[in-house]
Structure 1
Amino acid sequence: MKLKIAFATCVQLGLSCIEEIYRIGGNLDLLITLKDEKAKNKSGRIYLDDIAIEHNAPLLKIDNINDQEVLNALKEYQIDWLFIIGWSQIAKKDVLKIPTYGCIGMHPTLLPIGRGRAPIPWPIIKGLEETGVTMFKLDEGVDTGDIIGQGVIKLDKNTTATELYQKVDEMHITLISKYWDDIVNNNITLAKQNEGEATEWPGRKPEDGEIVVGMTMDEADKLVRAVTHPYPGAFYNNGDKTYRIWSAKTNKDEGEIKLRDGYLIPIDYVIEG
């Protein structure tokens, strides 16, 4: 029996997965995304109208993944698996239990490390040597479900958020391609997460990108790289001027930041103040 698959996303990471599913000959029985006016400023925000038309797939636009219209649609289309990828709202029990076999998500860390928010900036800020992407079966927790598969991404001292986002996107595609047949044939193997290794990372706001006097050069360098495009960018205030820094050179011989004194040298910035 052919399983029926639905996919919910509103960002590029999810669209890349959808494109890969169609590229390898797969099919989706229902697409779900946010209403056009919602989350317009969300990093990587995309729209599914074109791909839905191209592949003659039903498209449902919603306010929240837990809305009754979502529950109704999952029942109407008799969905067996629901992918929820690149979606900030947490799916509740009512959504999780309707698909015959459950829901599948992806998280851009090597779970159980890095549960929670800002999974691309944090590995750079923390100076990790590797991160990755985890495909897992969703449960009622936040990034706590059983693991289907993982892919490792190596980091170095020059990795930027822009580069890492691209590698994360590519790893989403790799994992979709690797596990698609197992998913549609209901032949996946699940592995429990090791709770003893679990860490949670907090959310980040644009104001968290401020460079302040007293930061080490290493801290400032990591921050600039971690919050560059597609994020709001690092910045510092100088009087009534705000300098937004997208990339920078650092004087490695200096231990502390002395802004506008030659120790932090912006090489690509815009003046916003």
Structure 2
Amino acid sequence: MTYKKMKILFIGTVEFSYKALSSLLENEFEVVGLITKKTSKFNADFHDLTPLAKQYGVPVKYRTKDNEEELISFIKEKSPDVIYCFGWSHILSNTILTLPPYGVVGFHPAELPNNRGRHPIIWALFLGVKQTASTFFIMDEGADTGDIISQEIIKIENDDATTLYQKITRKALHQIVTFSEDLQKNKGNISKIVQDKNEGNTWRKRGKSDGKIDFRMTSKAIVNLVRSLTRPYVGAHIEYGTEDVIVWRVENETTIFDNYEPGKVLEADEKNGIVVKTYDGAIRIIEHEFKILPIKGDYL
């Protein structure tokens, strides 16, 4: 039995958005339009979706600071059955949320109703959370509070931002194909799990100061901070002189240095990295952007 193709309008602007859109197109779902941005200083993992849209002949409309009415007109013109909004850092108006008959499907890489809000991959790694999830839901006017249509648990092991982003992406791409087939087959009528808006927690927006390495922190906290902010994100940083030096990878140093103050450089060379005293031990900085290496005895 064949089903009438569901018309999808896609909204997104990051690396995950690109892979999700690519998967939909490769699986021959009908994408009738794309809303994206030409560039973004806000998203560290920004990805230009335009070449992919052009390859498949998908009409594109760019978001600007004040073109909400243009976007609404574009959506009405394309008359989608459903909107997919994956990797978008802007609030969608209630007008847009109510336009498609099947609703607007959003994505949140966390175990909703827990860990709603901003920067879920970064916070999960920094806080040492043991598992997260890939969650798709019907968007409402709340922040990540809509009815869940697909959720898969993902274990966090020896991951950093790069590997966890990849894990979540692999799982999510499979989910997208599955629930898209269900939506298409059942004309939008699929099972949903209603979130209790009084349950769970919401993570706040991170600022630059949240990425600063303070060697009065424990070694574990510094390792978690660095792994949470490594690529595709902005990197943790050390304030060194008048500059912020990006740190991409560190390791816990097992040698005990009880009688040294936090921040003291204990070793420094190009080959073996930079060993720095922390509150309860030491860490070795493996990958960094120091232009000139600090020397033994310096303080960071």
Q: Same fold (TM over 0.5)?
A: yes
Q: In the comparison of the two structures, how many residue pairs are matched?
A: 270
Cα gap change, 1:64 to 1:176, in 2 (>3 Å): farther
1:251 aligns with 2:270: no
Corresponding letter in the other structure for 1:9? G
Bigger Rg, structure 1 or 2:
2
In structure 2, the residue matched to 1:88 is 89
Task: Judge which range, 227-236 or 138-147, deviates more.
Answer: 227-236
TM-score scaled to structure 1, two decimals? 0.91
Corresponding letter in the other structure for 2:125? I
The secondary structure found in structure 2 opposite 1:89 is coil
In structure 1, the residue matched to 2:22 is 19
Give the Cα–Cα distance (whole angstroms) in 2 for the partners of residues 257 and 188 of structure 1.
55
1:14-52: CA deviations, max 9, x gaps?
111111112222121111112x2x414622212222222
Q: CA RMSD in A?
A: 2.1
Task: Judge which range, 126-135 or 19-28, deviates more.
Answer: 19-28
Corresponding letter in the other structure for 1:57? V
Give the Cα–Cα distance (whole angstroms) in 1 for the partners of residues 9 and 238 of structure 2.
44
Q: Which has the higher contact order (CA 8 A, sep 6+)?
A: 1
Cα gap change, 1:253 to 1:65, in 2 (>3 Å): farther
1:260 aligns with 2:265: yes
Residue 172 of structure 1 deviates from its aligned partner by: 2.1
Cα gap change, 1:188 to 1:217, in 2 (>3 Å): same
Give the Cα–Cα distance (whole angstroms) in 1 for the partners of residues 174 and 249 of structure 2.
29
In structure 1, the residue matched to 2:272 is none
Determine if contact 2:5/2:30 at 8 Å carries over to the other structure. Answer: no
TM-score scaled to structure 2, two decimals? 0.83
In structure 2, the residue matched to 1:161 is 161
1:246-271: CA deviations, max 9, x gaps?
11121246589444233221111112
Match of 2:214 among 212, 215, 239: 212
Cα gap change, 1:209 to 1:30, in 2 (>3 Å): same
Percent of counterpart pairs with the same letter? 31
Corresponding letter in the other structure for 2:27? I
Residue 168 of structure 1 deviates from its aligned partner by: 1.9
Instruction: Show structure 2 runs of 5+ residues with no match.
Output: 267-274, 276-281, 293-300
The secondary structure found in structure 2 opposite 1:271 is coil
Determine if contact 1:5/1:82 at 8 Å carries over to the other structure. Answer: yes
Task: Judge which range, 220-229 or 204-213, deviates more.
Answer: 204-213
1:178 aligns with 2:178: yes
Cα gap change, 1:59 to 1:221, in 2 (>3 Å): same
Corresponding letter in the other structure for 2:290? I
Determine if contact 2:5/2:29 at 8 Å carries over to the other structure. Answer: no
The secondary structure found in structure 1 opposite 2:107 is strand
Aligned positions of 1:1-273 closer than 5 A:
1-34=4-37, 36=38, 38-40=39-41, 42-63=43-64, 67-156=68-157, 158-185=158-185, 186-240=188-242, 242-252=244-254, 257-261=262-266, 262=275, 263-271=282-290
Task: Judge which range, 233-242 or 11-20, deviates more.
Answer: 233-242
Instruction: Show structure 1 runs of 5+ residues with no match.
Output: none
Determine if contact 1:114/1:201 at 8 Å carries over to the other structure. Answer: yes
Cα gap change, 1:120 to 1:135, in 2 (>3 Å): same
Cα gap change, 1:65 to 1:202, in 2 (>3 Å): farther
Give the Cα–Cα distance (whole angstroms) in 2 for the partners of residues 162 and 194 of structure 1.
31
